[in-house]
Amino acid sequence: MKTAFDANKFLRVQKKKIEQRIKMFDKLYLEFGGKLIDDQHAARTLPGYAPDLKIKLLQEFKDKAEVILCINADAIEKSKIRADRLLTYEDEIIRLIEFLRKKGLAVDNVVITLYEGQKKADDFAKKLKDYKIKTYFHTFTKGYPTDVDMIVSDEGYGANSYIKTTKPLVVVSAPGPGSGKLATSLSQLYHESKRGTNAGYAKFETFPVWSLPLKHPVNLAYEAATADLDDKNMIDYFHLEKYGESAVNYNRDLETFPVLKEILTRISGKSIYHSPTDMGVNVISECITDDKAVQKAAKDEIIRRYLRALTDLKKGLVDEAVPERIKLLMNELEISEDDRPVIKKANEKRKKSQKPSACLFADKKYIVGRKTDYLSPISSTFINAIKVLTKIPDEVDLIAPAVLKPILDIKNKTSNFTKSHLGLDDVLIALSICGTTNPIAKKALESIEKLNGAELHATHLIPNDELIILTNLGINATSGTELDLT
């Protein structure tokens, strides 16, 4: 994939931007929107942006930064799932803690927001003790969102426990939206003000990109990604009125800004932000090196989001409005599913084989596979792909049927139902074992990294366990809504 985003420049420029904001205060609470780690959307939309780029950025501040993680008590109670990895929000919190600490970043505090005595939240707090995490419980802020006098009082933000922080930069993050990052940040500002600390607030949001046009495909890709939230990009009319400069923000930030500005003014005694854009520290557009390539990548992402919305609709995870919203964006950009060639190739293989099939595009090659006696369509396509990339003849079996059959037999004996194929996880394990004695299998395994950035489409609904593996491998996968019943 062609690089269209300068990640090294981003680290330099973004670091400088945040440093400038830190210098305005004794302590800066920086709300991190989006995914703190594994930001695959940004990586797909901005070729050259690594999924872990935010972590690399934070490592630039590791000596003067600490992280507060927020999680909604209702998300714990309802076992809310992070869809891209099928982890509950509380499991994602644990993963974040372990990952951040491994990278040398301080994380000692978790806030359970909107707490109303939920038992699962209490149990999670006990679990966090094993990680030497201090847990705080914050309730709904009395008076929010209209009664600013109540909000900015000891009965409002003051009713929440103060989270002791010691670093000049406090990053406030969460496993997903609706976790209470903003409320936690503002509550801290109130407590810091009472203690005589000049604390400030800023927001780090990758998307929408304020300095790109409203209808730029990158910004429309953000709308597609948040179609379930019904987010809408809009011109920041506060920014336009104050500075005469067009900037892009989204509806929820614009709707809440007047109240937020009043709250910040009440807390600090002064007004430094005149628009939602003022609060941000986004420098994404400065680091785009090939706008044409970025536009193409963003359009591709919108199509992928549409196809995923259709499969989510089939699974009952979203309502019909979600794919409809994304389809409108596609119409606006004059793009369609026909602009994703792997769909046509997969469907052709499906028609010819009369079996669920898939097509993968990597290294400028289209590689197809179908369901076999032993392999799932994804496993079959994966095997075919690494053989092509490693230049292994098609007639060579990377994993002999004599190896595959016993694995399938034992799975059938130990399962509540008979499995008619081996999934991608089974195949990777078998291939790894074969690689210890078979140099060809070992060579094939080494080519897996070449699949990073590959495109894949399956004619059937891809099982969640295979979808997660594809995501971890950096393969951009979509599927049809057909159930694999053959």
CATH number 3.10.630.10 is the correct assignment for the domain at 7-287: yes
Confidence class for position 414, pLDDT limits 50, 70, 90: confident
Question: What CATH number labels 340-482?
Answer: 3.40.140.40
According to DSSP, the residues that pair with 199 across neighbouring strands are: 27
Residue-wise pLDDT tens digits, 147-185: 999 999 999 999 999 999 999 999 999 998 889 999 999
Task: Give dist(CA 208, CA 298) in Å, integer.
Answer: 12
Residue-wise pLDDT tens digits, 130-150: 999 999 999 999 999 889 999
According to DSSP, the residues that pair with 306 across neighbouring strands are: none
Task: Give dist(CA 298, CA 43) in Å, integer.
Answer: 10
Confidence class for position 444, pLDDT limits 50, 70, 90: confident
Task: Give dist(CA 250, CA 236) in Å, integer.
Answer: 8
Whether 29 and 199 have beta carbons less than 8 Å apart is answered as yes
Tell me the pairing of strands 81-82 and 87-88: antiparallel
- Would the pLDDT of 436 be above 90? no
Question: In this structure, which amino acid lies at residue 144?
Answer: Y
Residue-wise pLDDT tens digits, 376-397: 999 999 999 999 999 988 888 8
**CA dist 309 to 322, 323, 471, Å?**
7, 5, 16
Q: What are the residue ranges spanned by the domains of the chain?
A: 7-287, 340-482
